[in-house]
């Protein structure tokens, strides 16, 4: 199996992009990635596009061919990857496998979602498809409701407080304030989060990631060819993916995501490292409680200890472990198909030393953690600067 490197990255601004359609967002991120790699489009051999529900959001299916078309690659094979909110991370893993296997030498991985062209009710229904339609959605529960159940159980078992969950949003908005591509450039206080409207007890509006538009893209090549395209290639040193039951009722526990634990263990094993070796992580904070679970399931903290650590500032910028320097899903935004690819873009910038005001000093190893649904899919990638 060949070593794989990222040699180009691109991203659009995330947010309510009324002035741009799906095509424009895809083209903007893809062309930026190709320019970053100093690469001509004719060199690309394969395209993978992550997107969750374009048919419901804008009535557009067959997105992979559209993505290739927007990049001027009309005859290049392209495949759409749908894995709920883990669509982007899953597309990245497929691109990684394609290059590592030797089937392709140059692969573009994109992620995109255009979510704001429908009303909130329609968006909620579309996103609800990431859960168990028969046992959860049909019974009336929404995704905030599912994660509220997780939060309530975590509070009962470990004494986690609403203020500690609020600290996740405060930290991530503080990081997003430094990111020009982020949806929100407003700092928050614990009081702001606590006073915001209740969505599903105990989760409030400011505990929840927003509805967003946006796209991101990366270019993958074999490591031994990477310097042809970029003087600072970033090597993918580990890749893991796992699944769990779609419905919460079938899970062994409400306070852990087993798919995250298994995916992380497999990625660590491949990379030959442990959690303590990671300097920077982009984790899936679709709700504030989700980041707390991620920090525990990824092995950074023992179960029940992450909430206190986050509230104490241990995961703030340039602290013990810098988490969600982009602003995460909460502050940067969450165009669901793009999120997993955006995470890889942020880690690439950080490891290159190109993250500007939010740069982590001396970062050498990074992680991207992308979750689909309430934890039925998890994808973990590990990255390191190439020697």
- Position 268 in a domain: yes
Q: Which of 171, 199, 234 is the last residue of a domain?
A: 234
CA distance 242 to 97: 15
Q: Which of 234, 249, 276 is the last residue of a domain?
A: 234
Question: What are the residue numbers of the active site?
Answer: 85, 334
Burial class (CB in 10 A: 0-12, 13-18, 19+), 301: buried
Residue 25 belongs to what H/E stretch?
helix 22-36
Structure tokens belonging to residue 189: 């206080």
pLDDT tens, position by position, 44-76: 999 999 999 999 999 999 999 999 998 888 899
Burial class (CB in 10 A: 0-12, 13-18, 19+), 180: exposed
Residue where the block lists tokens 């799906």? 22
- Position 125 in a domain: no
According to DSSP, the residues that pair with 85 across neighbouring strands are 83
Do 77 and 187 belong together in one domain? no
Structure tokens belonging to residue 376: 């039925």
Do 371 and 329 belong together in one domain? yes
Structure tokens belonging to residue 92: 């990245």
CA distance 16 to 13: 9
Do 294 and 252 belong together in one domain? yes
Q: Report the SS3 class of residue 268.
A: helix
pLDDT on residue 264: 98
Residue where the block lists tokens 């206190």? 308
- Which residue stretches of 129-178 are H helix? 143-158, 162-176
Structure tokens belonging to residue 138: 């049909």
Q: Which of 234, 267, 291 is the last residue of a domain?
A: 234
Do 57 and 202 belong together in one domain? no
Domain count within the chain: 2
CA distance 365 to 280: 7
Residue 82 has pLDDT above 80, yes or no: yes
Q: Report the SS3 class of residue 328.
A: helix
CATH no. for residue 79?
A: 3.40.47.10
Do 160 and 78 belong together in one domain? no
CB 229 within 8 A of CB 44: no
Do 260 and 183 belong together in one domain? yes
Do 142 and 255 belong together in one domain? yes
Percent of the chain with pLDDT over 90: 94
pLDDT on residue 312: 98
- Position 15 in a domain: yes
- Position 124 in a domain: no
pLDDT on residue 205: 98
- Position 84 in a domain: yes
The CA radius of gyration of the chain, in Å to the nearest whole number, is 19
Do 219 and 272 belong together in one domain? no
Burial class (CB in 10 A: 0-12, 13-18, 19+), 139: exposed
pLDDT tens, position by position, 115-161: 999 998 899 889 999 999 898 888 889 999 999 999 999 999 999 99
Do 174 and 33 belong together in one domain? no
214 conformational bin, left if phi > 0, alpha if psi -120 to 50, beta if neither: left
Domain of 220, in residue numbers: 4-119+211-234
- Pairing relation of β-strands 46-50 and 78-81? parallel
* CA-closest candidate to residue 130, choices 109, 111, 146: 146
- Position 302 in a domain: yes
- Position 94 in a domain: yes
pLDDT on residue 387: 77
* CA-closest candidate to residue 169, choices 329, 13, 358, 36: 329
- Position 264 in a domain: yes
Burial class (CB in 10 A: 0-12, 13-18, 19+), 153: middle
Per-residue pLDDT, averaged over 347-372, amounts to: 98
Do 218 and 330 belong together in one domain? no
Do 307 and 162 belong together in one domain? yes
Cα atoms in the 13 Å half-sphere on the side-chain side of 174: 15
Query: How does residue 265 score in pLDDT terms, banded at 50, 70 and 90?
Result: very high
Do 215 and 261 belong together in one domain? no
């Amino acid at each position: 199996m060949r070593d794989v490197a990222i040699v180009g990255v691109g991203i659009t601004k995330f947010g309510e992009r009324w002035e741009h359609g799906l095509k424009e967002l895809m083209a903007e991120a893809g062309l930026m990635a190709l320019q970053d790699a100093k690469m001509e489009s004719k060199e690309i051999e394969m395209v993978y596009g992550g997107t969750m529900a374009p048919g419901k959001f804008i009535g557009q299916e067959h997105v992979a061919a559209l993505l290739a078309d927007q990049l001027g690659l009309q005859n290049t094979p392209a495949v759409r990857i749908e894995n709920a909110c883990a669509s982007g991370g899953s597309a990245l893993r497929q691109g990684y496998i394609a290059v590592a296997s030797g089937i392709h030498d140059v692969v573009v991985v994109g992620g995109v979602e255009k979510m704001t062209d429908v009303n909130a009710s329609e968006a909620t229904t579309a996103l609800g498809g990431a859960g168990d339609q028969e046992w959860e959605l049909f019974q009336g529960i929404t995704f905030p409701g599912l994660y509220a159940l997780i939060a309530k159980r975590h509070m009962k078992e470990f004494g986690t407080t609403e203020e500690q969950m609020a600290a996740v949003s405060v930290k991530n908005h503080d990081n997003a304030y430094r990111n020009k591509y982020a949806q929100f450039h407003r700092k928050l206080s614990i009081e702001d989060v606590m006073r915001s409207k209740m969505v599903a007890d105990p989760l409030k509006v400011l505990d929840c990631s927003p509805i967003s538009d946006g796209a991101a893209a990366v270019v993958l090549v074999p490591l031994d060819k990477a310097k042809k395209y970029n003087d600072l290639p970033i090597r993918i040193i580990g890749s893991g993916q796992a699944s769990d039951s779609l419905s919460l009722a079938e899970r062994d526990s409400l306070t852990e995501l087993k798919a995250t634990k298994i995916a992380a263990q497999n990625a660590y094993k491949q990379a030959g490292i442990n959690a303590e070796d990671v300097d920077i992580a982009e984790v899936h904070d679709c709700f504030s409680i989700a980041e707390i679970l991620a920090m525990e399931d990824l092995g950074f903290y023992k179960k029940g200890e992450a909430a206190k650590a986050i509230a104490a500032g241990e995961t703030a910028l340039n602290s013990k472990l810098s988490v969600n320097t982009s602003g995460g899903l909460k502050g940067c935004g969450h165009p669901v198909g793009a999120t997993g690819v955006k995470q890889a873009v942020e880690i690439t910038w950080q490891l290159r030393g190109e993250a500007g005001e939010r740069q982590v000093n001396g970062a050498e190893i990074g992680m991207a953690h992308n979750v689909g649904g309430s934890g039925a899919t998890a994808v973990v990638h590990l990255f390191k600067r190439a020697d």
